[in-house]
Amino acid sequence: MTDLHFYFDFISPYAYFAALDLPELCRRHDATLRYHPVVFAGLLNHWGQLGPAEIPPKAMHTLRTTVRHARSRGIPFKPPRFHPYRPITSLRLALHEVCGDAQAAVVEAIFKAGWGGGIDLGSAADLAACLSEAGMDGADLVERTGSDEAKAALIRETETAISRGVFGVPSFWLETDDGPELLWGHDMLNQLEAVLAGEDPLKGVDWREIANEGPAVVRKRP
């Protein structure tokens, strides 16, 4: 059975869509879904990038694209009350070290309440309430996010993601017969499915025929 590692931050609407689709995709391919909350801002800082919300035209494009996608599929979509927001409490809630075997339920509840119900994902009170409404002890889970173990675990998850080359969310990482494979973006789920089915179009590619000789110019960063 393949382990599919799902790297996400609740701050991403595309991670919301992926979280809705991945369980069924994994069932079709007998894969085990492993949840990994990571700090998206930490990825951006490491790789020297700006986030979509930091580029006004890209932020508007993202909003229009995600609303269009949600409406075309009948997915509830009401963005979080504030965006961007401070994501740390929500991410720690999704750690296995905090929520244990309830991890899948916690991730689903937070994504649906944040991107389907428009709660304030930066509010500990709103997060506790949404988890309680989903049948869990929200107050207790929020309290656990303040532990040293939770703090260290989120740092570790983000560092592990970076070590695997993760640069954005959502990202999907798995071991294949040809080595580790990383895919990024909700729009890559069709390619992810091909990889899980053993039908990756990259099989047999001779990279020597495709690779170029490197950059002819390097843009200076501001």
pLDDT in tens, 23-75: 999 999 999 999 999 999 999 999 999 999 999 999 999 999 999 999 999 99
Which CATH superfamily groups domain 2-201?
Glutaredoxin (3.40.30.10)
DSSP per-residue string spanning 119-187: --TT-HHHHHHHHHHTTS-HHHHHHHTTSHHHHHHHHHHHHHHHHTT--SSSEEEEEETTEEEEEESGG
Residues near 182 by beta carbon (within 8 Å), at least 6 away in sequence:
164, 165, 166, 171, 172, 173
Residue extents of the structural domains in the chain: 2-201
Strand partners, 32: 3
* Residue the block writes with tokens 């990571």: 38
Contact 127, 93 (CB under 8 A): yes
Residue 213: the pLDDT is 85
- Using the Cα atoms of residue 181, residue 63, residue 59 and residue 51 in order, give the sign of their dihedral: negative
User: What tokens appear for 211 in the block?
Assistant: 């690779």
Query: CA angle, 77 as apex, 73 and 83 as ends, to 5°?
Result: 140
Give pLDDT < 70 ranges for the chain: none
